[in-house]
């Protein structure tokens, strides 16, 4: 009862002070607004980068192994890998026959060629030759239309499945399915279009690629090139066992003597996450630090203004103390002004940051996380309380006689 009466008096005084010192309040609030906007936007952007990263990583397939000559990530001298024997296409069918823990195996070969459809064209698109198993040996691939069948694959038919970006470029206003595009002059009929994957790894997603049967690929573009094998585990929990099995079979196929290290690499999406995860963490850290700094500066501004306001109001504090205000009451009074300013600033900041985050949303797959909203409000309150506390403490400690003499 007593407590709330004083809180109400404090609120009243705080809001009256905010109203009477409009410019001062606006400037203070501005400091917090800027701080909150940058913190929330930065947090949103970081969230977006992380999500984009996760999404891209998922495009590789969490349960897919990439068996090939080169490792994706390594600290070792690259010459040790250069001397490895090249991969052969037969490995894929051999692996498929012998493995028990794999659901699908597909060899993949890549090259860059020009694409054309009527007047539209796309330079240097990534052309991938593979088998019908590719679709089952890949990560999350949603398909409009269909992938090529076993017969089309084995027969090297002139059919293709294209990525979303390829479709956008070649067919800005048409349905691509059933149309025939030209890959370096060779006709291929579009059977399906992959759904857009987006993300950070650009070409490694299906977006900018064209998939064709590997036999057709070899006869049109030649077969003496880098080849890797995509092998998918029957299930995610079986992945580790599947990896051991693949390693064993591949050693047998490539006749690696016992005791000699394997002369091939089994790459996984996880490898990427492990490598780039810390980098994205560092980026997030730096970003948050910089924006935290701007919030801190805003806090200092509030603190400064609170000092001024306390000096202005020392006499008032003297009067209140003379009349019987107990120490913490004065404290509360001043805390309220600072906290109220910060809270108002924080709310305005969120109001500005939210539409801006929608713009970020167009570039990165993100939404302002709810936690950021709460964190921003909490931060602005803490800044208000902390920056209000010191000057309020100083004022409240002052002798009433001394405060009264102040003009």
Partner 1 sequence: MHVIEFTNITKTYDMGVAQQVQALQGITLAIDKNEYVAIMGPSGSGKSTLMNIIGCLDTPTSGQYLFNGVNVSEMDDNNLARIRNKEIGFVFQTFNLLARSDALHNVELPLIYAGISATERRDRARKTLEHVQLGDRAHHKPNELSGGQRQRVAVARALVTQPSIILADEPTGNLDSRTGEEIMGLFEELHSQGNTIILVTHEADIAEHAHRIIRLRDGKVETDVRVPPEKRKTYAMKKAS
CA atoms of 320 and 328, how far apart (whole Å): 12
Q: Is 2 among the residues that bind partner 1 (CB under 8 A)?
A: yes
Residues 6+ apart with CB under 8 A from 379: 35, 36, 39, 295, 346
As a residue count, the chain comes to: 407
Stretch of 13-21, 33-41, 76-84, 147-155 lying at the interface with partner 1 (CB under 8 A): 13-21
Q: Among residues 299 and 318, whose Cβ is nearest to partner 1?
A: 318
Q: Is 82 among the residues that bind partner 1 (CB under 8 A)?
A: no
**Whole-number minimum distance, CB 314 to partner 1, in Å?**
12
Question: HSE-up of 158 (CA within 13 Å, CB side)?
Answer: 15
- Contact letters for partner 1, residues 257-296 (x by CB under 8 A): ----------------------------------------
Hey, which residues between 297 and 316 contact partner 1 (CB under 8 A)?
A: 315-316
Q: What are phi and psi of 363, to 5 degrees?
A: -90, -45
Hey, which residues between 16 and 35 contact partner 1 (CB under 8 A)?
A: 16-17, 20
**Whole-number minimum distance, CB 316 to partner 1, in Å?**
6
- Angle, CA 289 vertex, CA 285 and CA 293 arms, to 5°: 175
Q: Among residues 157 and 320, whose Cβ is nearest to partner 1?
A: 320
Stretch of 87-95, 192-200, 303-311, 322-330 lying at the interface with partner 1 (CB under 8 A): 322-330
Q: Is 232 among the residues that bind partner 1 (CB under 8 A)?
A: no
Question: HSE-up of 312 (CA within 13 Å, CB side)?
Answer: 11
Burial tier of 289 (Cβ tally within 10 Å: 0-12, 13-18, 19+): exposed
Among the listed residues 381, 353, 347, 342, the one whose alpha carbon sits nearest the alpha carbon of residue 31: 342
Of 90, 241, 270, 399, the residue at the interface with partner 1 (CB under 8 A) is: 399
Q: Among residues 113 and 321, whose Cβ is nearest to partner 1?
A: 321
Of 40, 329, 366, 387, the residue at the interface with partner 1 (CB under 8 A) is: 329
Of 6, 144, 195, 203, the residue at the interface with partner 1 (CB under 8 A) is: 6
- Angle, CA 280 vertex, CA 276 and CA 286 arms, to 5°: 145
Burial tier of 374 (Cβ tally within 10 Å: 0-12, 13-18, 19+): exposed
DSSP 235: S
Q: Among residues 144 and 316, whose Cβ is nearest to partner 1?
A: 316
**Whole-number minimum distance, CB 28 to partner 1, in Å?**
19
CA atoms of 140 and 196, how far apart (whole Å): 11
**Whole-number minimum distance, CB 337 to partner 1, in Å?**
13
Answer yes or no: are the C-beta atoms of 43 and 369 closer than 8 Å: yes
DSSP 84: S
Q: Is 362 among the residues that bind partner 1 (CB under 8 A)?
A: no
Stretch of 26-34, 138-146, 253-261, 321-329 lying at the interface with partner 1 (CB under 8 A): 321-329
Q: Among residues 310 and 360, whose Cβ is nearest to partner 1?
A: 310
Q: Is 320 among the residues that bind partner 1 (CB under 8 A)?
A: yes
Give DSSP secondary structure letters for 255-266: TPPTTSPPSSEE
Residues found near partner 1 in the complex (CB under 8 A)? 1-2, 5-6, 9, 16-17, 20, 315-316, 318-327, 329, 399-401, 404
């Amino acid at each position: 009862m007593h407590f709330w009466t004083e809180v109400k008096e404090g609120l009243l005084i705080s809001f009256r002070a905010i109203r009477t010192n409009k410019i001062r309040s606006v400037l203070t609030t501005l400091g917090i607004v800027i701080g909150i906007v940058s913190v929330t936007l930065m947090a949103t952007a970081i969230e977006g980068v992380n999500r984009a990263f996760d999404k891209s990583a998922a495009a590789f397939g969490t349960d897919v192994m990439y068996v090939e000559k080169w490792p994706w990530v390594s600290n070792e001298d690259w010459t040790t890998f250069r001397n490895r024997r090249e991969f052969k296409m037969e490995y894929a069918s051999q692996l498929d026959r012998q493995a028990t823990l794999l659901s699908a195996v597909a060899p993949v070969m890549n090259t860059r060629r020009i694409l054309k459809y009527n007047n539209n064209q796309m330079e240097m698109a990534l052309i991938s030759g593979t088998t019908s198993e590719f679709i089952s040996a890949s990560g999350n691939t949603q398909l409009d239309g269909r992938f090529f069948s076993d017969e089309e694959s084995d027969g090297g038919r002139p059919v293709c499945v294209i990525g979303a970006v390829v479709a956008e470029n070649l067919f800005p206003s048409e349905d691509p399915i059933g149309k025939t595009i030209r890959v370096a002059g060779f006709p291929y009929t579009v059977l399906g279009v992959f759904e857009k994957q987006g993300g950070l790894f650009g070409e490694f997603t299906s977006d900018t690629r064209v998939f064709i049967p590997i036999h057709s690929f070899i006869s049109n573009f030649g077969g003496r090139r880098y080849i890797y094998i995509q092998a998918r585990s029957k299930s995610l929990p079986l992945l580790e066992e599947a990896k051991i099995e693949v390693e064993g079979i591949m050693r047998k196929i490539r006749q690696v003597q016992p005791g000699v290290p394997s002369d091939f690499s089994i790459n996984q999406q996880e490898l990427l996450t492990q490598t780039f995860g810390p980098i994205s963490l560092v980026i997030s850290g730096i970003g948050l630090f910089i924006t935290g700094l701007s919030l801190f500066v805003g806090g200092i501004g509030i603190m400064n203004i609170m000092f001024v306001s306390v000096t202005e109001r020392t006499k008032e504090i003297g009067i209140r103390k003379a009349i019987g205000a107990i120490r913490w009451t004065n404290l509360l009074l001043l805390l309220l002004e600072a906290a109220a300013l910060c809270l108002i600033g924080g709310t305005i900041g969120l109001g500005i940051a939210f539409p801006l985050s929608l713009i970020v949303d167009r570039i990165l797959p993100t939404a302002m996380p709810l936690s950021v909203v709460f964190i921003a409000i909490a931060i602005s309150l803490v800044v208000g309380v902390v920056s209000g506390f010191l000057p309020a403490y100083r004022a409240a400690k002052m002798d009433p006689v001394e405060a009264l003499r102040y003009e």
